[in-house]
Amino acid sequence: MTETIELALKTLEAQLNQPLETAMEACARCGLCAEACHYYRAEPKLEHIPAQRAEQLRSVYRYEHDFLSRVFPAWTGARKLDEITLANLTEIAFSQCTLCRRCTVNCPLGVDTPLMMRAIRAMATAAGTAPEILVMLADAAIEKGRDPSFYKDMFLEQIKEMEEQLREITGDKNASIPVEKQGAKILYVPLAGAHTILPPAIVFNEAKEDWTLSIFEAANYGVFLADMGRAKAVAKRIVDEANRLGVKEIVIAECGHAYASYRWDVPNWFGDQFNFKVHSLIEVLAEYIRDGRIKVDPTAIPEGVTYHDSCNLARNGGLIEEPRYVLGKITTDFREMTPNKAEAICCGGGGGLVALAEYTERRLAAGKPKADQIKKTGARVVVAACENCRLQIGDLNEHYHLNVRITALTDLVVRAMRLAKPLPGTEADHLFEGEEVSVPRE
């Protein structure tokens, strides 16, 4: 047995807890999960059935753990892990599954196939066969946490410039983007780029919130690698920052995997060190509108708008009604995709896939069911509250000629706030106002 295989098997053993063993054992191979998967919907073939994908790991597990499989491997399809099998498993877990859990929801037994795909990702990462770019991005984030001083001055400089824009847009001379404010109530954690800082800053200022901006970004590539060590190290930067500043609440930018991990996983990783509430920016927007802390024009968005449920926010995160509440307050022509909410179809960009250029073709092909859904609504605007979904739907827009505009929910809320000036880069959005919706519903 080579060192690579040994490491992979050791990692599998280390992960084998009750839920994972259950996922390994429960499948009856009934095949009902097939159409649940966007890969299968786009290209119906055996390899795209979630049960078949999971079977590749099960065969290895059986060989290691099942008496009958060790004696008669062919009887149960058991197989010893070797380099070729590991390479195949890696390919499957990183390029043919976005960890969306739609198969789990549709399985009569509730088999958690994404949990198995995570197990493979962890095995691949430990064995050194995981996509290098994800490892590099995770390591870069960890490095940034070790010595923030390296880029902090530049970051503060950029924030200062953004503050100027903020004042111009809001017409409020006192509007600010506080960074490292001791004792603030909220620590807002953005993504890389001004587009996830300026719109929320407008909202926070308008709501007179006691907030501060994190110097780190919410994305966590360690999560995509299913590498607990790296994922925890990336998250620790923000946990430490929140503890240092004494905030009460962490608000995560519109990002699916970051929300799901900080809301549902990180509290388990840090135990008593984690005494904060975690909210998505979407929940905060809903709360501000509900409490009247920000005023929005209910007729501000006249064009047809549809909402894409990010799998990490909706099915895996429980944020289902909140974005719809917000959209209900700012749009006049909201159109649901079918299916939606917990049954929503994945756009194909999750699980870190948008970062993996080598799988672009596969990703775009798998996104066809989502493209078809969007087309059917006839909407001009697609709202996605997750950066990876937005990037993927943007690519689908181009690839499938959808002729839609993709936007974050916060950007739309800011537009509905009717400020002195539009957000930079969204000036054209205003052209839509009052315009007839020319794309008919099907």
- For binding to another protein (CB under 8 A), which residues are involved? 16-19, 21-23, 25-36, 46, 49, 51-52, 55, 67-68, 74-77, 104-112, 263-265, 267-268, 271, 277, 286, 290, 314-318, 320-322, 324-325, 339, 341-343
Q: Identify any residues that bridge with 179 across adjacent strands, giving them in sequence order.
A: 213
CA distance 320 to 168: 34
Which CB, 33 or 404, lies closer to another protein? 33
Minimal distance in Å, beta carbon 99 to another protein?
Answer: 13
Which CB, 105 or 391, lies closer to another protein? 105
Minimal distance in Å, beta carbon 26 to another protein?
Answer: 4
Any residues with CB less than 8 A from the CB of 126 and at least 6 apart, and which?
7, 8, 10, 11, 227
Minimal distance in Å, beta carbon 259 to another protein?
Answer: 11
Neighbours of 249 (CB within 10 A): 17
Minimal distance in Å, beta carbon 421 to another protein?
Answer: 30
Which CB, 330 or 423, lies closer to another protein? 330
Q: Are 396 and 367 in contact (CB under 8 A)?
A: yes
Token pair in block for residue 347: 């756009």
Element (H, E) at 250: strand 249-252
Q: Are 85 and 64 in contact (CB under 8 A)?
A: no
What angle, rounded to 10 degrees, do the helices at 113-127 and 83-95 form?
Answer: 120
Which CB, 1 or 28, lies closer to another protein? 28
Neighbours of 246 (CB within 10 A): 12
Which CB, 104 or 407, lies closer to another protein? 104
Which CB, 12 or 355, lies closer to another protein? 12
Minimal distance in Å, beta carbon 360 to another protein?
Answer: 27
The alpha carbon of 65 is separated from its chain's Cα centroid by a whole number of angstroms, namely 34
Which CB, 26 or 156, lies closer to another protein? 26
CA distance 262 to 413: 24
Minimal distance in Å, beta carbon 169 to another protein?
Answer: 27
Any residues with CB less than 8 A from the CB of 162 and at least 6 apart, and which?
177, 194, 197, 198, 201
Minimal distance in Å, beta carbon 269 to another protein?
Answer: 9
What DSSP string describes 370-414? HHHHHHHHT-SEEEESSHHHHHHHHHHHHHTT---EEE-HHHHHH
Minimal distance in Å, beta carbon 74 to another protein?
Answer: 7
Which CB, 315 or 363, lies closer to another protein? 315
Task: Please tell me whether residue 366 adopts helix, strand or coil conformation.
Answer: helix
